[in-house]
Amino acid sequence: MSAVVDAERKFAEQPRLPLIAVADLARAFAWHDGREISAAEFLADVFELAERLPDARYAVNLCTQRYDFLVAFCAAIAVGQTNLLPAARAPQAIDEVLRVYPDHYALTDEAIALPAGLRQVSVPDARSGDGAFFSNLSIPSAQVVAIGFTSGSTGAPKANPKTWGGFAASSALNAQALAQLGAAPQILATVPPQHMYGLELSVLLPLRSSAAIHTAQPLFPADIATALAQLPAPRVLVTTPFHLRTLIESRIELPPLAGVVTATAPLTSQLAHEVEERYATHVLELFGSTETCVIAQRRTARDDAWNLYDGIDLQPQPDGTLVHAPHFEASMLLQDVIELLPQHRFALRGRSSDLLEIAGKRASLADITRRLLAIDGVEDAHVFQLDADANSVRRLAALVVAPELDEAAILCALRHSLDAVFLPRPLKRVAALPRNATGKLPREAVLEMLAR
């Protein structure tokens, strides 16, 4: 344990918080292949890996299996290193991050194409013994434990450093929000742990609350049902609107759910109603960003307004919204345009980058997308602005999934609900939108599909 001890000495004078907030290390921490893994066993795996890590400043955490990611994430933290979480696992995306953050290596749990010369440490799938002789860790509050990157859906990914104290504060707010779904939730997540939403709900929650996590990341309805059946109650499904729509369309039966948590893309009240009625559960939608982590929640089937977390305050700006929180080092500016409401609530009016003004008329990309989705036969759609042309004009374009309609029919139907100046041209019909693992649409992938 020398590497861990050295790290503790390095930060000896700083205020610290435990790695695992719940003192009972015999509790269920994770579920893997139907087997319960205790918090003590998890710590044993963390210590074992920590002793094998090279001396470096940054660890690029590329593990795909959720438990492996958790072990790697905490082992790097234990020896005073910072986890780098690229927005994608493609070699180019990884290389772009590494050029900015030298003195690094990669943590992997499967074969993956990596930039040439990148050192890597393999995280084994093996599990340790009972781990009873390991004690909890304490982490300096000011230690930067991770740097997350935005998804690139609105442009180039941006870096967002996160301290352990900030993560602990935001995790406490998430745990408080999920408490309405039942004590000690047993979580199954369909989203990857590298994304900030997945990190908050499936990595930090088991560390900072009594929640336990299933190690799988199922995508198909049958696999989701199987994984949920391996968890004890109260079961909570952490997912996206895209996966919820797939579940509803599949008509598959699921074990009893205490709740469903969703984020990353707007959830319609209709879909929220359908999920609640179909599975006799509550659907909780979270609002946040890579910059701020989760800051608000709502039960979308019943309410349009968002309920801010305790201590979070919003300040509308001409170009978005300033977010203030006690655990922020500085206020964060989001592109979201909001309207403040009584009782610490707000209404979301769109994003500053989504607002359009053409020929003296106003609209938003989100509203045009909503009108496209309302057309009978349209299964999925995305409206966006192209880069400015030689005349500094930014045209609207759209990708639409509509197997039984052609482009002309879609545009004709859209004309009935939309001013002609906002009709997207080009409008291209595609088999499926290029969504990533969290259901988002990276701009680069969208533009590439449009150009095909």
Q: What would the DSSP string read from start to end of 396-448?
A: EEEEEE-TT--HHHHHHHHHTTS-GGG--SSEEE-SS----TTS---HHHHHH
pLDDT one-digit tens code per residue, 371-388: 888 898 998 899 988 887
pLDDT for 9 equals: 61
347 Rama class: left (phi>0) / alpha (psi -120 to 50) / beta: beta
pLDDT for 127 equals: 61
**Measured in whole angstroms, how far is the alpha carbon of residue 142 from the centre of its chain?**
23
pLDDT one-digit tens code per residue, 60-91: 999 989 999 999 999 999 999 999 998 777 77
Pairing mode, strands 82-85 and 104-108: unpaired
pLDDT for 328 equals: 93
**What global pTM score does this model have?**
0.83
Q: Do domains 2-303 and 355-451 have the same CATH topology?
A: no
If we measure between CA atoms, which residue out of 145, 158, 132 comes closest to residue 199? 145
Quick one: pLDDT band at residue 223, thresholds 50, 70, 90? very high
Query: Mean per-residue pLDDT for 221-245?
Result: 95
pLDDT for 314 equals: 96
CATH classification for the domain delimited by 355-451, as one of 3.30.300.30, 1.10.3720.10, 1.10.150.240, 3.40.50.1220:
3.30.300.30
pLDDT for 332 equals: 92
If we measure between CA atoms, which residue out of 269, 294, 265, 299 comes closest to residue 282? 299
Residue 129 scores a pLDDT above 60: no
pLDDT one-digit tens code per residue, 301-360: 999 999 999 999 999 988 889 999 999 989 999 988 889 999 999 998 877 667 776 756
Architecture of the domain made up of 2-303: 3-Layer(aba) Sandwich (3.40)
Q: Give the span between the Cα atoms of 336 and 351, in whole angstroms.
A: 4
pLDDT for 138 equals: 93
> At CB < 8 A and 24+ separation, what contacts does 160-164 make?
160/196, 160/290, 160/291, 161/82, 162/293, 163/329, 164/17, 164/77, 164/139, 164/140
Percent of the chain with pLDDT over 90: 59
**Measured in whole angstroms, how far is the alpha carbon of residue 3 from the centre of its chain?**
31
3-class DSSP state of 170: helix
Domain ranges (residues) in the chain: 2-303, 355-451
